[in-house]
Chains A and B, each alone.
Chain A
Amino acid sequence: MTQSLRQPSRVQITDLRKDYGTKVALSGVSLVVEPGTFTVLLGPSGSGKTTLLRCLAGIEQPTSGTITIADKVVAGPAGNVGPERRNLSMVFQDYALWPHLTVRRNIAFPLKSSTLSKVERASRVGDMLERVGIAHLADRYPNELSGGEQQRVALARALCAHVGLVLFDEPLSNLDADRRDQLRIEIATLTRDAGVTAVYITHDQSEAFALADRVGVLRNGELVQYTRPEKIYRHPKSAFVARFTGVAGEFPVTRVREVGEKRVEVQLPFAPHMFIEATKSENSPYDKDPHLFVRAAGVTLHAATSPEGASGVIRDVAYNGRGYEHVVEVGAKESLTKVYSADRFERGDCVKVLFDPVSCFVMNAQEEEV
């Protein structure tokens, strides 16, 4: 169902559970998506993010729990509201463009059940075609378009509906790197310009951080952390969140000593004569098998003559357009990856590695199974 005036929807999910036979796909998921915000649900395959999105869309029916969209309970003990009556639209992973309809008719589809006149519909479709830059493709069929163009059509269809909530199911996963970056920006700007609430799922942490006002990390059907992207990056709630959102290295700690309310100093096997300052995790203890988790941004490289830092050897170097990413071997088996430096260090060079305590965390490596 569509409406002429878009009101961004507030989404509230409470204690959502979804079972497939004996398999638990979602368990105890609760979150609130504020109106007009862009929320990204991040997780590996099988974490339940797709199931969660499909429950929101009404394609799947939750086993228990409630979903409220725009103050209307759409799934709960009283029953489930059909997808067509949830006032939302969706961009599918495989685009789900109807191959027998032209681009124009694909985009116009959501307007069929609206009260708009034909002229108004045509005008809105034309406007949307212009906005996503595919006006010249209006009369083509989906199979005559490239992947990026198809994705634009899917985006236009979702935004043309003028609904309060737009769902995105890994919309960039089928595109090559260049198109992915370009379309990611377009999704971000067009969605925000439209003023709708967006829920987006992906397994790509860089995509999540680039798009989100809030990020939710899912693991084995549970929402393990849901907050602003900066907070997830700086204060991962667990080793899983830290790993999934990107670490340059993870090392067992031989000794830990507290040096402040939020800081500790640790000793590492490959640097037994020095202490490295790191941040204590706010949420995760380090009492069983403490490890140091290092973000790529928390490491700097210096010449071997530098008086400070742990010793390392450059094993690989790659130019990334604005500088160099290095793989640094810091122990017998340990190494740091994606260590950025504006200067190039050659393979085999001896270097010193310095750690920034803000981007280094101490946590138990083994987590209790969720």
Chain B
Amino acid sequence: MTVDTLFSEITPSAPPRQSMARLRRVRWSGLAVWAVLLVLIIIPVVTFVVAAISPRLFHQGTSYFTLSNIATAFSGYTGRGIVDSLWVSTLVGVFAVSFATAIAWIVHRTNVYGRRVWSGAMWLLLLIPTWMMTLGWIDVLQPGELASALGVHSLFFYHMFFGASGIVFVLSSASLPFSYFVISVALRGLGSEFEDAARVHGASRWGAIRAVLPIIAPALLSAFAISFAEAMSDFGTAFTLGSSSHFPIATYTLFNAIYAFPANFPVAAVIAAVLILCTVPPVFLQSRVMRGRSYAVLGGRTRAVRRQEFSPFTRVLVTAALGVLMLIVLGLPILGAVTSSLTNTSSFVTPTGIHWTLQAFKDVFVSLPSYTSLGPPLWVSNQLGLVVATGTIILGFVLARRLAARTSGASQRVMDVFLLGSIAIPGIVLGVGYIFLYDQRFLTEHVINLYETMPLLMMGLIASSVPSQARLLTGPVAQIQSSLSEAARVHGASRWRAFGTTALPLLSRALVWAWLITFTKTLSELAIAQILYQPGREPASVVIQTYLGTNFASVGSAATVITLVEMLGVIGVVLLLFRLLTPAGWRRIGEVGTIS
């Protein structure tokens, strides 16, 4: 599940007119599209979940129907994991919405310094996976590391971090941008007349804010829902802190259930079903809220936002507060990883001082008996990123065209609901569903043996990315008026030339961003990679966990930094290429903000 869907929901979409000829083609292609979705998402998830109540169907037990696995899953360690996940996610939702509301208000409704910087920081925070953030914080808080160097007695915080507090903190930080972007959209569209009316009728400045908050209540609710769902489905933090935290949460107990000996797929399936039941409703709620009537305030007559003018002192103070907050949620974990990677000692501060070195960056590319070089895994991750991002964009675009079509046939409605639900399926569930299905004897012996192969990992990653990217692309696709390609056809362009000269340029920016988001997310993806990787061809995110698990902290930190730099580097290079290689008109589309 990613934040991408938020933007597709927010984007106002006017479905284009569509010719009957096209409708016929769409109907024919519909079967093929559904077949792909069946193989990628529906069959793996459904068969896995069915195993919870009918384990014998898949050679996982003796009963064709039993509820005993449900009882097992809700008791003991796994039961505690489910309960922990629920309250942790609720708390994360509350924290994320509270802080995001304050930040969004300050950035969009005041004259605080560096507004673009804060929005940019939110984007960066969005890109950083939770496992990376967790590792960064371990590097900060570990005794003798950065915090110690800064004179903070970090042992207390270090122990706290390996528990509920650490998980809530990291997940709240990671969920912050999700809430921020949802609330920002609501605040940007909210004219100043509501605050003016409150002030005119006697409300103080704070009273005016309190009067306006209920108007954006749908966005707040939506932000809470999406933050809750994100926290509930997160695997990175749970896996990275792992058993050290002695604080089980559902995604980790699910992982444990299948890696225990013997593997307990039926119990894992119950946990998976619980995760799906907990994440799907918030996503539907978010979608419903963002499409609902509550946003009637965002009309054409809404007056432009008037920013609150802080006094010079308050302006500096608020800017500093934002800076400190960003330093905590973003700066410190990155700094922790960077400083740890630049020292090759067991701790950052030694009795002889700090010894800066690039040794870890050299070591990370050397294969030793104790660990493998990062080079091949990073190459594997890049291959995965390339294939998965490209495959996702192609399939996502096909789905987006179907979703944006003017028809309101049953297939389209079902697909709409299905993709929305699929976004909410946690990666860990998808991954486990894949090994469960594609390791079934009837498939491996009689159809195709994809178990522990790169194609299976690619399929899993595409399956996890496609729903969100399809919905992300639906907005831009729906915004393109059909008359633009019709005009091209009428004026002599063939079907493909019409697409290449009209739709493609208009969609190019959205496609490039969708590709970049998928590529970077694939590069850092952990849940599916950890479960489905081909032995001997581990992706970087999996190998980095092994570095840290084998006490090569500096090498692990260096590898984390390299992965992060590569993610940002690819974004930079691709955007630069887009700028250099595309005609000026192509680049205007996203910038001017209109497609008409």
**Which residues from chain A sit less than 8 Å from chain B, CB to CB?**
1-2, 20, 54, 57-61, 80, 82-84, 86, 88-90, 92-94, 96-102, 105, 109-110, 112-114, 141, 143, 157-158, 161, 167
Contact = CB atoms under 8 A, between A and B. Distances in A.
A100 B486 contact: no
B585 A102 contact: yes
Contact of B490 (A20, A90, A143): A90
B501 interface: yes
Contact of B481 (A1, A94, A158): A94
Contacts of B62: none
A2 B505 contact: no
Residue from A2, A84, A161 having most chain B Cβ neighbours under 10 A: A84
Contacts of B487: 90, 92, 96-98, 157
Given A61-B19, A61-B20, A141-B588, A83 B489 contact: yes
Contacts of A20: 20
A84 B487 CA distance: 10
Nearest to A2: B492
A99 B505 CA distance: 9
B491 interface: yes
A-B pairs with the 10 shortest C-beta distances? A100-B585, A96-B487, A96-B483, A110-B491, A83-B489, A113-B492, A100-B505, A90-B490, A83-B490, A92-B483
Given A60-B20, A100-B586, 18 more contacts: A59-B489, A84-B489, A84-B498, A88-B490, A89-B490, A89-B491, A92-B486, A96-B486, A98-B585, A99-B594, A100-B506, A100-B589, A109-B488, A109-B492, A109-B493, A109-B501, A110-B491, A157-B491
B596 interface: yes
A84 B483 contact: no
B576 interface: no
B502 interface: yes
Most buried by A among B494, B506, B585: B585
18 contacts: A20-B20, A59-B486, A60-B20, A82-B494, A83-B489, A84-B490, A84-B491, A90-B490, A90-B491, A92-B483, A96-B481, A96-B484, A98-B484, A100-B583, A109-B488, A109-B493, A110-B491, A157-B487
Contact of A98 (B21, B490, B502): B502
Contacts of A102: 585
Contacts of B491: 84, 89-90, 109-110, 157-158, 161
A8 B490 CA distance: 17
A279 B592 CA distance: 59
A94 B589 contact: no
A370 B55 CA distance: 64
Contacts of A60: 19-21
A282 B16 CA distance: 43
A84 B493 contact: yes
A113 B21 CA distance: 24
Contacts of B505: 98, 100
Contacts of B585: 98-102, 105, 141
B38 interface: no
Contacts of B594: 99, 143
A218 B594 CA distance: 35
B595 interface: yes
Nearest to A113: B492
A339 B285 CA distance: 58
Contacts of B490: 57-59, 83-84, 86, 88-90, 167
Contacts of B583: 100
A113 B595 CA distance: 25
Interface string B452-484: 000000000000000000000000000001011
A161 B492 contact: yes
Contacts of A90: 486-487, 490-491
A61 B21 contact: yes
A189 to B, nearest CB: 22
Interface string B486-525: 1111111111001001100110000000000000000000
B292 to A, nearest CB: 28
Interface residues on B, range: 20 to 34
Nearest to A93: B483
Nearest to B488: A109
Contact of B596 (A88, A94, A101): A94
Contacts of A143: 592, 594, 596
A83 B486 contact: yes
A345 to B, nearest CB: 39
A331 B489 CA distance: 56
A54 B486 CA distance: 10
Nearest to B489: A83
Nearest to A90: B490
B407 to A, nearest CB: 10
A98 B503 CA distance: 9
A61 B486 CA distance: 13
A102 B592 CA distance: 14
Contacts of A167: 490
A94 B596 CA distance: 8
Contacts of B489: 58-59, 82-84
B492 A99 contact: no
A9 to B, nearest CB: 14
A227 B595 CA distance: 40
B251 to A, nearest CB: 44
B308 to A, nearest CB: 31
Contacts of A105: 585
Interface in B553-596: 583, 585-586, 588-589, 592, 594-596
Contacts of A82: 489, 494-495
B21 A84 contact: no
B499 to A, nearest CB: 12
Tell which of A54, A59, A92 has the most Cβ of chain B within 10 Å: A59
Nearest to A157: B491
Nearest to A83: B489
A100 B588 contact: yes
B492 A1 contact: yes
A99 B584 CA distance: 11
Contact of B589 (A97, A99, A110, A114): A99
Nearest to A100: B585
A96 B596 CA distance: 7
A62 to B, nearest CB: 10
B21 to A, nearest CB: 5
Contacts of B588: 99-100, 141
Nearest to B480: A99
Contacts of B21: 60-61, 80
Contacts of A57: 486, 490
A80 B489 CA distance: 14
B595 A99 contact: yes
A112 B589 contact: no
Most chain A Cβ neighbours within 10 Å, of B20, B495, B595: B20
B580 to A, nearest CB: 16
Contacts of B481: 94, 96
Contacts of A158: 491
A84 B589 contact: no
A96 B20 CA distance: 20
Nearest to A84: B492
A97 B502 CA distance: 10
Nearest to A20: B20
B432 to A, nearest CB: 44
Nearest to B485: A96
Contacts of A80: 21
Contacts of B586: 100
Interface string B404-434: 0000000000000000000000000000000
A155 to B, nearest CB: 13
A318 B488 CA distance: 46
A161 B487 CA distance: 12
